[in-house]
Structures are given as C-alpha cells and as structure tokens.
Structure 1
Amino acid sequence: MMRKTFLAVLMVMALFYFVEAPRAQARNVKDIIKKVQKKYDDIKNFKASFEKIETFQLTGSQIVTSGKLFIKDGKKYRFETEDQLVISDGETVWTYNRLSNQLLIDRVRKNSGALLPRDILFKFPKTHYATLLGEDEMDGKKVYIVKLDSKEDAQGYFSSIKIWVQDDAWQIVKIEITDLNGNKSIFLLSQINTRATLSDDLFKFTATPDMDVVDMR
C-alpha cells in the first residue's frame, strides 16, 4: 500500500524532469523538454487536484481515487484522498489510513525500494528514454504525448510512463504509468497552481492518542 502511494506521488513529481532519447524524434522531444524544464525551473511550491484511475491487468477492474497534492521545496509533500493521508517533511513519512485509524511512521530512506519523489529527480532520468508519440487535444487545448521507456539495464517498479504536456502553458495535465505486471495508473491533474503559498504546517503530522501507531524508524 505504501509503495502504491509513493507511486502516485511520483507521477506528479514526474513533471520536474525528463530525459532525451537518442531517436529520430529526439529533436522535437528535446524542444518540449526544454520548455517544460524552463516552466518548472523556478517552482518551489506546487498544488493540484487529481483523479487517479487504476486498471488491473489480471482482473480488468478499476479503482478511481480523487484528492489533492501539495509539494514544497521539491522534497516536502502532502498527498490527500478520502481514505488516506501521506505527509513528508523531507525526513519523516507519515502514512495515515482513515478507515483503520492506523498511522505508519518511517524515515525517508534512500534504498528502501519505495518510489520516493526524489527518485524522479536523480534515478529516473538516467534509466529511461523519451519519445514524442504525437499530439492530441484535451479540454479544447493541444497537448503533446511523451513516452518514457526503461533502458534495458534499468530496474524498478514500472516499465513506462506517458505524459501529456499542454502546449504553450507547458504544464503536465495527464500521466499514465504502466508497471511491470501490465497494470496501469492514470493521473489527471487539474487546478494546477505553481505559485501556491504553502505553510510548513501542511507537511507535519501529530498522532492522537486513539490512533494505532506503527513506528518503523
């Protein structure tokens, strides 16, 4: 469950970095990458609403989740859904399940195997190629579709990512991740605010006496 949550956070963090692929369409991809990077170069805070659609290859079933996500200084984040709350101040991660009233506390670990937000900044660009698949239209606006594929020697929890970049605004409005088992997660972003003023209190969590606390630090 925690890995799936980190995966959702990771999808949003994907908007901060791409890697260029040495292919025929690389020049177009390079232009898009540069414009997106320029857009987000000076972003310190990020706020958005989202809808996440998970499709499972084995059963064909779907799970739809909606919520909000806040990112500050590239490492602090807050991930809110109706059933779950995940908060990190960059050093500690609190994962609270509202249904079970259970709180998991852990350190942000470098080699835990979890898909942490910083992975998209340092690991992902080194292990994936980017290809421009084409253009589409979303909400009456042109978008570019960029696919990121794992290199042959890459290891991880997913095989590819597709990202929809809005023309002119150069913001990512949709992300699709396919994991190694063929399961897909689609992440639709809306109400994007890259100039949000976010309090540090958003990235702290205090347990109450009635919670079932599991401290793994």
Structure 2
Amino acid sequence: MTIARSISLVAAIILMTTATARAISPQDIIDNVQEKYESVTDATVLFVQSVSFKVSRAEQTSSGKLYFKKKNQYRIETDTRTVVTDGKTSWSYNPQNKQVIIDDFKEESHSMAPDKLLLTFPEDHYVSLVGEETLDGEDCYVLKLTPKDENSFTTGMKIWVNDDWVIKRVEVTDINGATTTYTIKKITFNTGIQASTFHFEAPPGTDEIDLR
C-alpha cells in the first residue's frame, strides 16, 4: 500500500438527523463538513480499518492511530506499519523488517488524505444522499460518491457523517474489487500536536532506503 493511499485515514477520517425529516441536500452536508474542517487545526483519531477482497473473499482487520495537521502533515501508526509525512518528506516504516522507505511527499491522484477528501473529492465526484444509519449510537447521513473520471482508481465511496458534521466512517471500493472501510472510534480536535510528530526518527539498526 502506498504512503498516500494509507491515508487513506484516514483518513481521513477527520470530519463530516434525518435527511427526509430535515430536507437537507448532499451539498448542504458537504458545505457543513468543510466549514467544520476550517475550524480544525489538528486532530487525533483512533480508527479500525477492515479490508474485504472480492475474489478471495478474505477479510483483514486492524486498528490504528492517526495524527493530523493541515497542509498534508500526518502520522499513521498500526501494528504493522508507521507512515509519516511533514508535507515535504514521507517515511514508511515496517517494524517487522526493520526497514524505512524515505521519499519526497507525493499526493497521488487516488489518495484520500484529509485535505483531498474534504476539498477536492466533492468536486471530482457525483455526490448523492442515499439514506441514514445509526453508527455506534449516533445518527448519520450516508453519502455516496461516484467518480466523474471513468479511469479513476476508486469505483465508489460511501461516507457516514454525524450531527456534528464529523466523518464517522469511510468505505472505498477500488478497481480491483477490494473494499476498505475506516471506522472512527474516537477523535479529538485542536490539542496542539507538536511538529516533531510529523518527522520520523528511525530506530537504531533500521535499514534505510532513500528514494529522494
């Protein structure tokens, strides 16, 4: 999984009642989520990621933690990998192999970094309100995003948004038929995350592969 796709948290993950009862439009929801995002300087997110593969029908589930600041600064920590970027340099560390790959930050066209998810994706996708669901005891709108570009890496996406305009879940299906779901378990905003969080110091004995 590439560094940009990992964000995928995560993505992501940072921000977006009853639709019929309140007669709200998909654009209203997007606008409210983006307004919420403008008030956020940083966020810390505990999440669960599950991946379902269409062909093998296998499923993988893991949990992790995301630290995020605007301008593409984020850190994702899971049991199997740590991905860090300060917006200029990216580090992808595999603790099992004791190896870190260092590269210039590249925002791929199919990445789901928070900035891209909230600001660019609504413009690049057709957005519809498909219903409402209760998620972890919270009423959520469910938005469906369909890419306008037929050659997009993703074929579809769903986003669950609560009454506080915070994104609670993101579900993405790609061209290979794999569906990745990120569910937010806890999120805190504006705690003053230190800049050093977005720089990776490799443990002693780590094999460094520098692609810059």
TM norm structure 1: 0.85
Residue of structure 1 equivalent to 2:96: 99
Matching of residue 188 in structure 1 with residue 171 in structure 2: no
Q: Note the 1:1-217 alignment, pairs <5 A.
A: 1=1, 3=2, 5-13=3-11, 28-109=25-106, 115=111, 117=113, 118-120=115-117, 123-151=120-148, 153-167=149-163, 169-217=164-212
What's the CA shift for 1:128?
A: 0.7
Aligned residues of 1:127 and 1:154 also touching (Cα < 8 A)? no
Q: Which amino acid aligns with 2:105?
A: V
Q: Distance in 2 between matches of 1:82 and 1:15?
A: 19
Residue of structure 2 equivalent to 1:22: none
What's the CA shift for 1:28?
A: 1.3
Q: Which amino acid aligns with 1:57?
A: K
Aligned residues of 2:65 and 2:78 also touching (Cα < 8 A)? yes
Q: Which has the higher contact order (CA 8 A, sep 6+)?
A: 2
Between 1:124-133 and 1:88-97, the stretch displaced more is 124-133
What's the CA shift for 1:6?
A: 2.7
* Compared CA separation, residues 208 and 16, structure 1 to 2 (3 A): closer
What's the CA shift for 1:41?
A: 1.4
Q: Which amino acid aligns with 2:153?
A: Y
Q: Distance in 2 between matches of 1:122 and 1:166?
A: 18
Aligned residues of 2:129 and 2:141 also touching (Cα < 8 A)? yes
Structure 2, unaligned runs of 5 or more: 17-22
Q: What's the CA shift string for 1:96-139, capped at 9, x where partnerless?
A: 001100110000135x6672625436653332111000111112
Q: What's the CA shift string for 1:55-98, capped at 9, x where partnerless?
A: 00110001101010011124110000011101101100000001
| Percent of pairs with identical residues | 33
Q: Distance in 2 between matches of 1:45 and 1:30?
A: 24
Q: What's the CA shift string for 1:146-172, capped at 9, x where partnerless?
A: 011011x353321111000012x1111
Structure 1, unaligned runs of 5 or more: 19-25
Q: Which amino acid aligns with 1:162?
A: K
Aligned residues: 205
What's the CA shift for 1:37?
A: 1.7
Q: Which runs of 4+ in 1 moved over 4 A?
A: 13-18
Residue of structure 2 equivalent to 1:23: none
What's the CA shift for 1:38?
A: 1.8
Q: Distance in 2 between matches of 1:46 and 1:17?
A: 9
Q: Distance in 2 between matches of 1:27 and 1:49?
A: 29
What's the CA shift for 1:209?
A: 4.2
